[in-house]
Structure 1
Amino acid sequence: MGLLGLLGDFELDEKATINNVRRFFEHDWPIIQTRAHISFVDVKSPVISGMPSSGMTRNANDDKYSIHAQASKWVDDVIQACQGMREPHRTFLELRYFKALTWLDIEEATDYSSKRGQEIINEAFLGFAEAFADTYDYREYKV
């Protein structure tokens, strides 16, 4: 039995998987970058106050480090998943979600139409879902 045989009779629901990955890149990805203190668009350093806060019963520094460490791990995992992609999928994800270019800017930079660019992004989302499944599984299957 091949690797794909482990999935049994389940068929990937491409539309739902694409929507899950799109939601990740459009909503969660900017939050993860902020928590990891990383911006692929803006290289300014974040302002961090060294002043302790009062009234906390938990260790705020430990909580901040934990959030930062988890976000940094996710950033590394996202980059690793994207590095394995073929062109032009990798370039389109980079331009759209790492460099935050508009579709018009991407169209000018790549000579692809916006419609074709969106098709390439959807294909990239499916590849990303497969590559990222060890970290978080955005794939959905039809029963």
Structure 2
Amino acid sequence: MSLLPELDETKTVENVKRFFEKEFPILQNMAHTIFADIKSPVISGMPISHSSDNRSETKATLHVYAKGMLEKVIKACGGLDQKHRHILELRYFKRLTWYEIEELTGYGKTRGREILNEAFLQFSWAFVDTEDLRSFK
């Protein structure tokens, strides 16, 4: 008898894949573009109140949240072995196609996906303190 319930690898891979395909690009956009949308403070002797202050504060908060989450993703990726981290990086950080990944690594699309799925499983354990993407049977 095992102390831990059995990991449902298929569902866990789906959860992590969904995270990298849906949430990860949003976090990247929030971390990079929302910051540029924040208006520079007006420098003058008088404080100025704008109706957009709340919106700017919300954007700043979301930007800080997104940057923090991306740092946690990168830290979790640091827990993966080099081969798996490399495939994950090429696919989701550098947004390369499977053809480009094959050119760089020599792994065909099928083998590349197998390695990526293994990377997803490794990531699910490394990221558990931030967000638990694991599924159990």
Partner deviation per Cα, 1:59-113 (whole Å, 9 max, x = no partner): 1122111111111110000000001211210100010000000000000100111
Q: How do 1:59-138 residues align onto structure 2 when only pairs under 5 Å count?
A: 59-138=54-133
Q: Specify the alignment match of 2:39 in structure 1.
A: 50
C-alpha separation between the residues in 2 aligned to 1:70 and 1:21?
A: 19
Return the letter of the residue paired with 1:50: K
Deviation per CA, 1:41-67: give whole Å up to 9, x if none.
Answer: xxxxx742628975x6x7112211111
Distance 2:19 2:132 in 1: 11
**CA RMSD, Structure 1 to Structure 2 (Å):** 2.2
The structure with the larger Rg is 2
Number of residue pairs aligned between Structure 1 and Structure 2 = 128
For structure 1, the 5+ residue unaligned runs are 39-45
Amino acid at match of 1:110: T
Decide which structure has greater helix share. 2
Q: Is the 8 A contact 2:27 2:69 kept in 1?
A: yes
Superposed structure 1 runs of 4+ greater than 4 Å apart:
51-54
Residue 82 of structure 2 aligns to a residue in which SS? coil
Structure-to-structure mapping, 1:17-28, within 5 angstroms: 17-28=12-23
Provide the C-alpha distance between the structure 2 equivalents of 1:113 and 1:100, rounded to a whole number of angstroms.
17
Q: Which SS does the other structure have where 1:28 is aligned?
A: helix
Q: How high is the TM-score relative to the length of structure 1?
A: 0.81
In structure 1, what is the Cα distance between the partners aligned to 2:116 and 2:38?
39
The SS at the match of 1:12 is coil
- Structure 2: runs of 5+ lacking an equivalent: 41-48
1:32 has 2:27 as partner: yes
Measured in 2, the distance between the counterparts of 1:105 and 1:53 equals: 48
Distance 1:53 1:102 in 2: 45
